[in-house]
Structure 1
């Protein structure tokens, strides 16, 4: 059973530090599962967090929600459950950055371009909200994504530009767009 099912939507927001451990999940498998495992309870939490990021940083909530789904397997990945890291953000030079609270080592796969097993240090967050805020901060302040910012009014164009630097998967943008279409995540971009 997933943590948000057990705690309930409101309880999960208040109890974000007390998440149970989950089985280790291969990141590629997480991304494949995200394409089909619709979870309305996860979306009930991720949608408002994505809208808050849109309000604070001016980037499409639909993209933020879809990337969190793809990166965390609807919130079920070990990294999301144990470290509340919903975007797979790594620590840079063993520093967590201004929002994360620490770093934690996990086995992963690095592709440069051949894929091989590796160990990386991933950011640890106190809450889902902090993970989403760090996403917005990183996308809007990093020189790697500056080229995408002129496209914020068009979610598909925006993720297409972000994906050029965000992921090594050549189909990454298409996967995010497919999630936005299949689950009508564009509705998150409309005013409430």
Structure 2
């Protein structure tokens, strides 16, 4: 195929079998075919340019005859063909445009890629249709411009797809999944309790390491104790004893203590709300104007012995706000409603 194409350019300009062969080659859409199509267009362009130049020269005398005009026309056509791909560089520009688009490795879908290939093929075939003599440089320029705009639109769609993919990867992140799961239940709890929903999620995240380090019972079952609430003497439901770390006089120590065991997440958050809303000690938390103030109020009320407890909560609150801003609200399904009482 390549040898046949290369040989075609060396034939006479008015060899119509050559034009027919090149038209058949253009249908294949190969790189070599596209290059030859581009060369032939440059031939047309150079020929029109030479004709315009001849019109600017006065004619007369012995050489102003129809036979001589036919000869000069054929001569100009042959010179234009021999010059194609060597002088102006127009063929290289056209070929690069077509080849780059046909080689595009990123597409929105298979149909989009097929549309690009079909558009390239139509452009190549149009140069050698039966009406090729009527194809002006302005017409080709318009066709190339449309190809360029199509490519730009495709790139924008690819960028949107890339952004969507990035958001999907974000949704797959365990931390994001934790926030998504707790978002709606925490919002419901905030409405009935006054505790900012960011604080509710932040405490659940801090006390369990974003759900990865939950308290377990002696038989290795989940306790659903997302808020690290200890089982005092007044607690009548199940509990589990384990070794925990506390701060005594700013020193971290290990102690044995009892923690409450719940039968579900709903049970855990309901008990957490009852603890904070019914104990006067946490009144400042419930009445706090924003999440960061509530976090500081929790530490002031000695919810935890960690001297950096509020700072850790605020860092997590910042992250929760970022995730909530960048995640579709439709995906914030969460678990079932809270039975607050």
**TM-score, length basis structure 2:** 0.40
The answer to which structure has the higher helix fraction is 2
Query: What's the counterpart of residue 215 of structure 2?
Result: 79
Task: Report deviation, 1:168.
Answer: 1.8
* Structure 2 residue 181 is matched with structure 1 residue 45: yes
Classify 1:71/1:173 alpha carbon distance in 2 versus 1 (closer, same or farther; 3 Å): same
| Whole-angstrom CA distance in 2 between matches of 1:121 and 1:163 | 21
Report the 3-state secondary structure (helix = DSSP H, G, I; strand = E; otherwise coil) of the residue aligned with 2:212: coil
Offset of residue 148 of structure 1 = 2.9
Matched, 1:130 2:267: yes
- Residue 119 (structure 1) aligns with: 256
Give 5+ residue unaligned stretches, structure 2: 1-172, 331-341
For residue 192 of structure 2, the aligned residue among 38, 56, 60 is: 56
Does the alignment pair 1:171 with 2:311? Answer: no
Look up the match of 1:13: none
CA contact (8 A) 2:228 2:259 kept: yes
- Alpha-carbon distance, 1:142 to partner: 1.1
TM-score (norm 1): 0.68
Structure 1's 116 and 87: CA in aligned 2 closer, same or farther, altered over 3 A? same
Take 1:150 and 1:186, find their aligned partners in 2: how far apart are those partners? 25
Considering fraction of residues, name the structure with more strand.
1
Asked if structure 1 preserves the Cα contact closer than 8 Å seen for 2:243 and 2:255, the reply is: yes
2:232 equivalent to 1:96: no
Consecutive unaligned residues in structure 1, runs of 5 or more: 1-36
Q: RMSD across aligned C-alpha pairs, in angstroms?
A: 2.6
1:152-192 CA-to-partner distances (Å, cap 9, x unmatched) read x311111111122212222211111111112317959xxx9
**Pair 1:68-2:204 in alignment:** yes
- How has the CA–CA distance of structure 1 residues 137 and 186 changed in structure 2, closer, same or farther, with 3 Å as cutoff? farther
| Rg larger in structure | 2
The total of aligned residue pairs comes to 149
Distance 1:128 1:39, change over 3 A: same
Name the residue aligned to 2:246. Answer: 110
- SS of alignment partner, residue 109 of structure 1: strand
Tell me how far 1:38 sits from its aligned partner.
Answer: 5.2
In the TM superposition, what are the counterparts of 1:138-153 in structure 2 within 5 Å? 138-151=275-288, 153=289
Counterpart in the other structure of 2:143: none
User: In 2, Cα distance between the equivalents of 1:62 and 1:78?
Assistant: 20
In structure 1, distance between residues paired with 2:285 and 2:179: 25
* CA drift at 1:131: 1.0
Q: Is the 8 A contact 1:49 1:128 kept in 2?
A: no
SS in 2 for 1:84: coil
Task: Output the CA distance in 1 between the equivalents of 2:187 and 2:321.
Answer: 14
SS of residue matched to 1:79:
coil
- Tell me how far 1:150 sits from its aligned partner: 2.7
Runs of 4+ residues deviating >3 angstroms: 185-188
C-alpha distance after superposition, 1:8-47 (max 9, x if no partner): xxxxxxxxxxxxxxxxxxxxxxxxxxxxx85222222221
CA positional deviation for 1:58: 1.9
Give the Å deviation of 1:87. 0.7
